[in-house]
Chains A and B, each alone.
Chain A
Amino acid sequence: MAPTVLAARGVTKTYRKGAVAVPVLRGADIDVAEGEMLAIVGQSGSGKSTLLHVLGTLDRPDEGEVLYRGQRIDTLSRRRRDAFRNTELGMIFQSYHLLPELTALENVLAPAMIRYGVFAYLGKRRQLRERATALLERVGLGHRMTHKPRELSGGEMQRTAIARALMNEPRLLLADEPTGNLDPTSGDGVLELMRGLNQTDGLTVIMVTHDRAIAALADRTVTLVEGRVAEEAEGLRVQG
C-alpha cells in the first residue's frame, strides 16, 4: 500500500451551543494513502464535514492529532496552517464558494494571488494566467473565463472551483459534498473530473458525501457514525 499522506488520530471535536455541549467527533481515526480516492460517508450530523475541516486545518481538534506526511499540522501556527492550506490543499464545497465579484479566471487565480505578494504576482502574471487558462480549459470552461459566477450554471461553478483548487498544484483535494447541489448529469461530470484527476495526475482525493452511490466511485469508503469510524470498505471500482 502507498504511504500515508494525511492521517487523523483520535480526533475529538465538541461544539457548544449555549450551555449544551454537542460532541461531533469522538475519537475519529483515519489514514489517507497517497494517490487514493477516499470517500467519507455518514448521515447528517455524523461529523463527516467536521472531520474534513479538521483534516484541512480549517478547524482544530479538541484532542488527538492530525498528521501530514508524518508531521503534526494541527498544532502549527496560524500562519503556517494558512500557507499549508494555500499550497498543499485544494478544497471544493457543496455550494461552490466562488467569490462573486471576480470572474471565473480571477477566481481560479485567487490562490496564486494569496500566495504571492503584489510584485511577485505581477512578475509571474503571464505564467500564472496561462496556468489558470489551461486549468479552466481542462475543466471544460475555456469559453467562460470572463464570466462572473452568477452567470454560470451550478456544474460550471463547481468545475471552476475545482480549477481553483488545482491552481497552486496541491497534492490533496478535499471535497465536501461536491455534487450536493447539482443535478445528476452535472454531478456526474464533476465526479468524472475528480476521478480523472485522481487517476491521471495521481492527486489524492478525500470526498465527503452522504450518497453511497457516489461513494461507490471511490477507491475506499469510510463510514462515520456518531463521530467514529464505523466501517471501512474497498470501493466497487477497485474491486471491479
Chain B
Amino acid sequence: MYKLVLCLRYLRTRWIALASIISVTLGVATMIVVNSVMAGFTHEMRDRIHGILSDVILEARSLDGAPDAARHMELIRKQAGDLIVGMSPTAQVPAMLGFTVNGQRVNRQVMLIGIDPKTYGEVSDFGRFLQHPANRGELRFDLHEGGYDTADHQAEDPAKAAPRPMMETAGWEHRRRKAFWQQREAELAKRLAKSEVAEATTPPTESTTRDQQSAIADPFAKAEADSGEVGETFDPTSQQHPGVVLGMALGSFRDASGEDKFLLLPGDDVEVTYPMSTTPPKPGSAFFTVVDFYESKMSEYDSSFVFVPLDVLQDKRGMIDPTTGVASFNSIQIRCKPGVDLNALRDRLQEVFDPRAYVISTWQDKQGALLAAVSMETAVLNVLLFMIIAVAGFGILAIFYMIVVEKTRDIGILKSLGAGAGGVMGVFLGYGLTLGVVGAGGGMVGGLLFVAYINEIADVLAWVTGTPVFDPAVYYFAKIPTVVYPHTVAWIVAGAMAIAILASVLPARRAAALHPVEALRWE
C-alpha cells in the first residue's frame, strides 16, 4: 500500500519529473504525426500509381514492339485466364509535343501512348482522371462542344477545388473562336503584304520573310498543306484532327493564388513528332486536336503522358505490316481479379514469354524504387525520432537519480519501518511507469489530435507566417494526407513507456540497494 501512496505523493509534489516527461510526450507525438503523414503519403501514392498503372504489364523490349496483340492476349488468357479481368494493348514511344503559345512555339518531351479507348478503361482508372464528364464515362477522342469541368473535380472538398475559369470556353467554342481570329490575322497579313507590294517602297526580301513568319505562326496553314487529300477542305471550325489527351501539367500550371492557368485548351491543335518504326528510325510528325486533359496528380505522369488512339499511332508510326496488315504493340496491360497474388501471376506469365523479348512486371515492380524510397525515409525518421525519445529517457534517468539521492533518508526511514528492498524499488519503478504512461499517453493524445486537425493547423500556420506550409501547387495534394495505423501507435506508445521504465530501473535499484543505517545518517 505504501508504494501506491508514496508513488502518488511523489508525483504530486515533484513536478520537475513531469518536465522530464514532456520530452517523451513530444517525441511520441512527433513520431505519431510523422508516421501518419508518411503513411498517408504512401497510401495516396500507391493509390494513384495503382490507378494509373494496371496490375501487371507485359512489355516488348523493343521500342518498335511486337506484332499481333490479339495472339499475345490469347496466350496470356490460356496461361492465366482464371486470374484476369481485362487486358488492353498499348503502344508507347518517346516523342516531342509542339504547340504555339502567344505566337511562340513550345516543344516538350513527352511519352506518346496509344491506347485502345474501349478496353483501356477496364485495366486502369484512366477515365476518372479526365476533365470532361462524358469522357470519364467513355472516351471517344472526339472534341466536345463544351461542358469541361471548371474546377478540379477530384478535390475532396469541392469548395477548395482549384478553379479553372479558362475551361469554360473549352471545346468547339474555343476552336471556332480561335480559327476565326487566325483567319482574320491571316487576311490582315495578306492585305498588308499586298499594299506593300503596290507601294513598292519596301524591298521584296522583307515581304518574303514576313510570309515565312506568318507561316510558322499559323500551324493550320501548314496542316492544310500537309494533309494532301483533305487539302483546302479542312475547316478548323467544324473539323478536328485525331484526338489527343494531354497530361495536365503539359498544358497548364497552377499560379500562386491556386488557380489553374492553361497554355492550351481542348480545341487547340498540337503537333507531335515521333520516331517512325523504320531502320534507322526517322522522325515523323502529325497534328492532333486536344480533346481532354489527364490529371492523375502524379506530376511525373501528368507532365509527360500524351494519349492518342492506338490505331492512329500504329498507323502513323508505320507499325502496321503493309503486307499482312498485322499491327505491332508495345505492351499489354492486364487487370487481375481482386485478391490475386500479382507476383504469382507475373511468374506464371514469365514461364511462357521469352524474357529476352518481353518484360513482365507488376505495378509495384514498376514503382518499386519510389515506394521503397518512401518506406526507407519513414524508417530513418522513425530511428531518429526514437533516438529523441531515448535521449528523453536519459533525462528521466538523471532526474530520477536526483530524486533517489534526495529521498535517501526517506528510503532509510521506510527500511527501518520494515519496507523491503523490492518494495522500495517498486515505489520508484511505479513512479517511472506512471510518468511513462502519462508522457506516452499525453503524446498519443496530442499526436492523434494533431493528425486529426493537421490541415487546420497548416492553415493557421500559413495565416500566421504568410506563406503556405503545404503548397498544393508543389505536392498536387489538395490537403495533407494522413493514415493512422493503430498498431504503429501502439508500438510507439509501448516503446516510450518501456524507455521510461528502463530509465527508472537504475535509480530504483540504487534505492533498493541503499543500506538503511547509512541512508538514515544522510543529511
Which chain A residues have a beta carbon within 8 Å of chain B's beta carbons? Answer: 53, 56, 58-59, 78-79, 82-87, 91, 93, 97-102, 106, 110-118, 120-122, 164
Q: Which of B463-506 contact A (CB under 8 A)?
A: none
Q: Are A85 and B2 in contact (CB-based, < 8 A)?
A: no
Chain B residues near A58: list those with CB within 8 A.
415-416, 516-517, 520
- Chain B: which residue is nearest A115 at the CB level? B418
Chain A residues near B5: list those with CB within 8 A.
102, 106, 113
User: When chains A and B are docked, how far (Å) is the Cα of A59 from the Cα of B522?
Assistant: 16
- Closest 9 pairs between A and B when the two form their complex, measured CB to CB: A86-B418, A113-B2, A121-B1, A113-B1, A85-B418, A101-B9, A97-B413, A82-B420, A58-B516
Number of A-B contacts (CB under 8 A): 74
Chain B residues near A101: list those with CB within 8 A.
6, 9-10, 13, 410
Q: Are A93 and B1 in contact (CB-based, < 8 A)?
A: no
Chain A residues near B418: list those with CB within 8 A.
82-87, 111, 114-115
The binding surface of chain A is classed by DSSP as helix
User: When chains A and B are docked, how far (Å) is the Cα of A208 from the Cα of B421?
Assistant: 27
Chain B residues near A118: list those with CB within 8 A.
1, 4
**Is the C-beta of B409 less than 8 angstroms from some C-beta in chain A?**
yes
**Is the C-beta of B359 less than 8 angstroms from some C-beta in chain A?**
no
Which chain B residues have a beta carbon within 8 Å of chain A's beta carbons? Answer: 1-2, 4-6, 9-10, 13, 409-410, 412-421, 423, 516-517, 520
Chain B residues near A113: list those with CB within 8 A.
1-2, 5
- Chain A: which residue is nearest B523 at the CB level? A95
Chain A residues near B410: list those with CB within 8 A.
99-101
Q: Are A114 and B2 in contact (CB-based, < 8 A)?
A: yes
Our pick among A59, A111, A121 for the contact of B417 (Cβ within 8 Å) is A111
User: When chains A and B are docked, how far (Å) is the Cα of A106 from the Cα of B409?
Assistant: 17
Shortest B441–chain A CB gap in Å is 22
Q: Are B2 and A110 in contact (CB-based, < 8 A)?
A: yes
User: When chains A and B are docked, how far (Å) is the Cα of A16 from the Cα of B415?
Assistant: 22
User: When chains A and B are docked, how far (Å) is the Cα of A116 from the Cα of B520?
Assistant: 23
Q: Are B417 and A114 in contact (CB-based, < 8 A)?
A: yes
Could you list 25 A-B pairs, sorted by A, with CB under 8 Å? A58-B517, A59-B516, A79-B420, A82-B419, A85-B416, A87-B418, A93-B416, A93-B520, A97-B416, A98-B413, A100-B410, A101-B6, A101-B10, A102-B5, A102-B6, A102-B9, A106-B5, A110-B414, A113-B2, A114-B2, A114-B414, A114-B419, A114-B423, A118-B1, A118-B4
Shortest B433–chain A CB gap in Å is 15
Shortest B130–chain A CB gap in Å is 68
User: When chains A and B are docked, how far (Å) is the Cα of A120 from the Cα of B520?
Assistant: 29
User: When chains A and B are docked, how far (Å) is the Cα of A120 from the Cα of B1?
Assistant: 9
Shortest A48–chain B CB gap in Å is 14
Our pick among B2, B6, B409 for the contact of A97 (Cβ within 8 Å) is B409
Chain B residues near A82: list those with CB within 8 A.
415, 418-420
Shortest B406–chain A CB gap in Å is 10
User: When chains A and B are docked, how far (Å) is the Cα of A82 from the Cα of B423?
Assistant: 11
- Chain B: which residue is nearest A112 at the CB level? B1
Q: Are B1 and A99 in contact (CB-based, < 8 A)?
A: no
Q: Are B409 and A78 in contact (CB-based, < 8 A)?
A: no
User: When chains A and B are docked, how far (Å) is the Cα of A113 from the Cα of B417?
Assistant: 10
Q: Are A91 and B416 in contact (CB-based, < 8 A)?
A: yes
Shortest B59–chain A CB gap in Å is 70
User: When chains A and B are docked, how far (Å) is the Cα of A79 from the Cα of B106?
Assistant: 89
User: When chains A and B are docked, how far (Å) is the Cα of A112 from the Cα of B412?
Assistant: 17
**A97-B520 contact, Cβ under 8 Å, with A113-B2, A116-B1, A118-B4:** yes
User: When chains A and B are docked, how far (Å) is the Cα of A112 from the Cα of B203?
Assistant: 119
User: When chains A and B are docked, how far (Å) is the Cα of A38 from the Cα of B520?
Assistant: 23
User: When chains A and B are docked, how far (Å) is the Cα of A78 from the Cα of B418?
Assistant: 10
Chain B residues near A53: list those with CB within 8 A.
517
User: When chains A and B are docked, how far (Å) is the Cα of A86 from the Cα of B2?
Assistant: 13
Chain A residues near B415: list those with CB within 8 A.
58, 82
User: When chains A and B are docked, how far (Å) is the Cα of A120 from the Cα of B409?
Assistant: 27
Our pick among A56, A79, A99 for the contact of B413 (Cβ within 8 Å) is A99
User: When chains A and B are docked, how far (Å) is the Cα of A56 from the Cα of B419?
Assistant: 14
Q: Are B10 and A86 in contact (CB-based, < 8 A)?
A: no
- Chain B: which residue is nearest A88 at the CB level? B418
Shortest A239–chain B CB gap in Å is 34
User: When chains A and B are docked, how far (Å) is the Cα of A82 from the Cα of B414?
Assistant: 10
- Chain A: which residue is nearest B422 at the CB level? A79
Q: Are A117 and B417 in contact (CB-based, < 8 A)?
A: no
Chain A residues near B416: list those with CB within 8 A.
56, 58, 85, 91, 93, 97
Chain B residues near A102: list those with CB within 8 A.
5-6, 9
Shortest B7–chain A CB gap in Å is 11
Chain B residues near A84: list those with CB within 8 A.
418
Chain B residues near A99: list those with CB within 8 A.
6, 410, 413-414
Shortest A66–chain B CB gap in Å is 15
- Chain B: which residue is nearest A107 at the CB level? B413
Q: Are A86 and B417 in contact (CB-based, < 8 A)?
A: yes
Shortest A139–chain B CB gap in Å is 17
